[in-house]
Amino acid sequence: MTVGIDIKTGTLRQGLLPADPVRPNLTQHPDTKAQLTGVVIPRWKEIVDFSCEVLKRLPQTHFVGLDISLTEDGPLLIETNPLPDKDSAAKGPIPAIKLKQAAQKWLSK
């Protein structure tokens, strides 16, 4: 499942299932029925700052998935994935140029 995130606020957007050819917009998790759309990820700025610090250490990487867990002590990197599902990213409501611009803005701080 892929879920868009408003990069400024950390608010979840609608999700989609890449394997579903119809790709309906999901507002709830298809199994648990947990709300997706409108949920705000706690400590979002801290997660974004942490992600940018990770990316600074990967200067030659142009597309990578970061699996991050939020612990009581802050964000924790679980793994980096140099081959994330590009199909989901391309078909999801996440314009790549917006991600690149946001990353450049954060990295220039």
What are the structure tokens assigned to 52, written together? 């940018």
- DSSP letters spanning 34-98: -B-TTPBPTTHHHHHHHHHHHHHT-TT-SS-EEEEEEETTEEEEEEEESS--HHHHHHSS--HHH
What is the rounded average pLDDT of the residues 3-18? 87
- Neighbouring residues of 74: CB distance < 8 A, sequence distance ≥ 6: 43, 46, 50
Q: With cut-offs at 50, 70 and 90, classify the pLDDT of residue 108.
A: confident
Is the pLDDT confidence value at 99 over 80?
no
**Over the chain, what is the mean pLDDT?**
83
Would the pLDDT of 19 be above 80?
A: no
Look at residue 4 and tell me whether its pLDDT is greater than 70: yes
For residue 89, is pLDDT > 80? Answer: no
Backbone angles phi, psi at 106, to 5 degrees: -65, -40
Is 67's pLDDT higher than 70?
A: yes
**Angstrom distance (rounded) from CA 77 to CA 104:** 20
pLDDT at 62: 77
